[in-house]
Amino acid sequence: MTDITRDLISDVEQFYYREARMLDNREYQQWLKLVTTDIKYRIPVRFIPQPDPKKKDTEAFLSVEQELSQGLAPDFRDENFFILSLRVMRAFKLNSWTDNPPARTRRFISNVEVLPSDQEGCYETFSNTMITWSRHQKDNHTFTAQRKDVLRVENGEFRIAKREVIIDWNVITGPSLSIFY
């Protein structure tokens, strides 16, 4: 098991800042190089569950995990490398109404936490993201979420092998979830 050092945490933070810059600059093809070819990218639906009286007085009673779709409803996104590649290619098409004209985005990444993983050469990470989204000189939205990632070291570089995005909304009021988190 690899020790989690300040240098490692700093390297992970720099990776996430570079990823945010690429996405904000619409460098989607470059961003795609930051993910593994076997990536699992998921945005589960979030809902308000009925309280379970058996869990009363325990942390499980308030657990965020019980608010996630967990197979009970289709996820907002359940994608692999092929689907992410199609989304990247679509961004460059004139007839893609969700991407043309492109939105102006700004990503803020915080609360980066790095943990050892059971998988060799991988780290489990948690981070928060806030994305401002603006388009058509009138649509302005803010998306906030937690990201749960598995970063894999390949050829000395971090790659995103798994990403689960826990959006803070349970009702999506923004015009699209086509943005990359």
Q: What's the CATH architecture for 6-167?
A: Roll (3.10)
Amino acid, res. 5: T
More confident residue, 178 or 119: 119
**CA-angle at 61, arms to 60 and 66, nearest 5°:** 70
Range 91-95 average pLDDT: 83
More confident residue, 58 or 89: 89
Q: Does residue 97 have a pLDDT over 80? A: no
Beta bridge partners of 117: none
Distance, CA of 122 to CA of 175 (rounded, Å): 35
Q: What is the pLDDT of residues 116-149, one digit of tens each?
A: 999 999 999 999 999 999 987 778 899 999 999 9
Q: Where are the domains of the chain?
A: 6-167
| pLDDT score at 1 | 52
Q: How many residues are given for the chain?
A: 181
Distance, CA of 41 to CA of 37 (rounded, Å): 11
